Amino acid sequence: MTAGARGRALTAVAVAVPVLFLGYFFAYPVIAITVRGLAHGGAGLGGVWDVLSDRGLQRVAWFTVWQATLSTALTVAIGLPAAWVFARFSFPGKRLLSAITLVPFVLPTLVVATAFLGLVGPRGILGFDMTGTIWIILAAHVFYNLSIVIRGVGSFWARIDPRLAEASRTLGASTWRTFRSVELPLLRPIIASTAALVFLFSFTSFGVVVILGDLNHSTIEVEIWRQAMSFLRLDVASTLAVLQIVGVSALLFLYGRFERRTSVPFHHRLSAAPKPRGARQVAVVTAIVVGTFTLAIGPLVVLAVRSFANPRGGFGLENYRSLATLPEQSGAFVSAPLAIGNSLRFAVIAVVVASLIGLLAALAIQRSSRRVSGGFNLFVMLPLGTSAVTIGFGFLVALYWPIDLRGTVVLIPIAHALVGIPFVVRTINPTLASVRGDLRDAAATLGASPWRTFLTIDLRLVSRSLLVGAAFAFAISMGEFGATTFIVRPNSPTIPIAIFRFLGRPGAEPFGAALALSAVLMAVTAIVVAAIDATDRGQERRI
């Protein structure tokens, strides 16, 4: 076999393996849901109309849209000043604060919801209960999605030549007019792109709404779960899932359209940002930094402190001890050690699968033609935009052929890997695209096969990016909740499932146990974020 044929064989394998995996475990379940939803009760489109005309479901759909809209507006409004500070100024602790702002986004939504329960729940430290209101849902969404705006807009903003704004101010324009007339027009595509992403995550919110909301404040995501798991109305759940898929597809289209426009026409080489100058600028930057830090760390500090607050008063380790004692008192509680062990085991498997599939997919994207790679890239990214509840429900509906996997634990790490694969691809792609072609040519000249060239050059150069993607996949798996609720077995609970069951029991002790287990999951997530930050820093030094 010639070198060219071996190279084509490598590309074919890189395309075929992800296509087969995503085709069976993602596309097939989604198609099965779509067919079932459109065939609702054998009534065809009439069944869909029955769901659309249901007043209760109309209220759910309306709430889903307007809470996502308001969540997006608040997140962008709060995140833009922070993005400006990160892009334009240097200040003590900037690197640490950047890492801290990433923690909420990587945190499981169930941990975020538990943190807000500790703050403004029935037993919250502020002394009033906001559960079941729109405000606590909006606050949790802003907290969860803020880093998307800060990092997305901030990194783009930093690459716009600051001399443009300086020239405008030299000509007499105020700071506000300079922003409105010079910088904002350049920032609009990235603001729209990040806003679409925030809207998508708020639109498909599950863990936050199922814990902090009520029957009057429920999203389509929660309603799919409720119709399938509580009422066993699989046809209605399928129809709702189809409607959500249509909405998510439209959002992904808009996101991709805006993202393609995010080119920097006045790109400049990144250099050290200056420190704020003048008392007014120092005061503004300090206020934004302190506010961002408080918003990013406040609920997490509350969760950590409350996890040590004993139900009978004082502080100690009683909540952590109850993780072992409560299951002994009643079979209604989940064994925390079992849940932790399951989560770690599933996460390791999910990381291996996501890393392998993601690496092959990134290789296929880089080695295929532009037309093929564009469509393939979109296909690989679709699980990121598809709700976890839809994936879990699709497994329940479809994966009985050719082998019935629904009664096994195999589906849990596979579901987790599906969500992790896009993160692996997104972290590997830029590095893989930057690998110089002459390195591969030199290896081929020396007699190396395409496979050996890939292992010794490509894989070695993308190893750090692969570690970052694997770390994201690990954190996602540890906290995945939406899909797991459909496919979890009684003897295979994960940490989020255990937290959910603790929160579902009355009394101070189960609530304290939920806080303690959430704090454990938060600590694991923080360690993963620290590892990601350290790997990124090492890669920057390497470059």
Write down the pLDDT at residue 146.
Answer: 93
> pLDDT above 90 covers what percent of the chain?
38
- Alpha carbon separation from 313 to 318, 509, 513, 520 (Å, rounded): 10, 12, 15, 21
The two structure tokens encoding residue 481: 């909740």
Model pTM above 0.75: yes
Residue 485 predicted with pLDDT over 90: yes
Evaluate whether 86 touches 150 at the Cβ level (below 8 Å). Answer: yes
For every residue of 114-125, DSSP letters joined together read HHHHHHHSTT-T
| CB contact set of 503 (below 8 Å; sequence gap of 6+) | 114, 117, 211, 510, 511, 514
Residue keyed to tokens 């206020």: 287
The SS3 of residue 309 is: strand
The CA distance from 115 to 122, in Å, is 12
Query: If you average pLDDT over every residue of the chain, what do you get?
Result: 85
CA quadruple 117, 123, 125, 126: dihedral sign: positive
- C-alpha 260, offset from chain centre: 21
The two structure tokens encoding residue 197: 């992403």
| CB contact set of 426 (below 8 Å; sequence gap of 6+) | 381, 469
> Which amino acid, residue 251?
L
User: ∠ CA 495-520-484 to the nearest 5 degrees?
Assistant: 15
| 305-315 pLDDT, tens digit each | 999 998 888 89
CB atoms within 10 A of CB 36: 21
The two structure tokens encoding residue 221: 């995501």
The two structure tokens encoding residue 146: 């803020």
Write down the pLDDT at residue 166.
Answer: 77
> Which amino acid, residue 467?
L
Q: Dihedrals φ, ψ of 214, to 5°?
A: -150, -165
The SS3 of residue 214 is: strand
Q: Dihedrals φ, ψ of 22, to 5°?
A: -70, -30
| 489-527 pLDDT, tens digit each | 888 899 999 999 999 888 889 999 999 999 999 998 888
Evaluate whether 415 touches 496 at the Cβ level (below 8 Å). Answer: no
Residue 270 predicted with pLDDT over 70: no
For residue 441, count CB atoms less than 10 angstroms from its CB and return exposed for 0-12, middle for 13-18, buried for 19 or more.
exposed
Evaluate whether 480 touches 416 at the Cβ level (below 8 Å). Answer: yes
| CB contact set of 381 (below 8 Å; sequence gap of 6+) | 252, 422, 425, 426
The SS3 of residue 269 is: coil
> Which amino acid, residue 210?
V
Q: Dihedrals φ, ψ of 267, to 5°?
A: -70, 140
Write down the pLDDT at residue 4.
Answer: 63
The two structure tokens encoding residue 54: 């249901």
* CATH architecture designation of domain 57-219+244-291: Orthogonal Bundle (1.10)
The two structure tokens encoding residue 397: 């509906």
- Alpha carbon separation from 3 to 13, 41, 237, 447, 454 (Å, rounded): 15, 56, 51, 9, 13
Q: Which is higher by pLDDT, 172 or 140? A: 140
Grade residue 319 by pLDDT with cuts at 50, 70 and 90.
Answer: very high
> Which amino acid, residue 25?
F
Q: Dihedrals φ, ψ of 351, to 5°?
A: -65, -45
> Which amino acid, residue 335?
S
Grade residue 274 by pLDDT with cuts at 50, 70 and 90.
Answer: confident
Write down the pLDDT at residue 543.
Answer: 43
| 46-70 pLDDT, tens digit each | 566 777 788 888 899 999 999 999 9
Angle between helical axes of 318-329 and 336-367 (0-180°, round to 10): 100
- What integer is the mean pLDDT of 101-127? 87
| 215-267 pLDDT, tens digit each | 888 999 999 999 998 888 888 888 888 888 888 878 777 776 766 666 555 55
Evaluate whether 524 touches 327 at the Cβ level (below 8 Å). Answer: no
| 74-86 pLDDT, tens digit each | 999 999 999 999 9
> Which amino acid, residue 238?
S
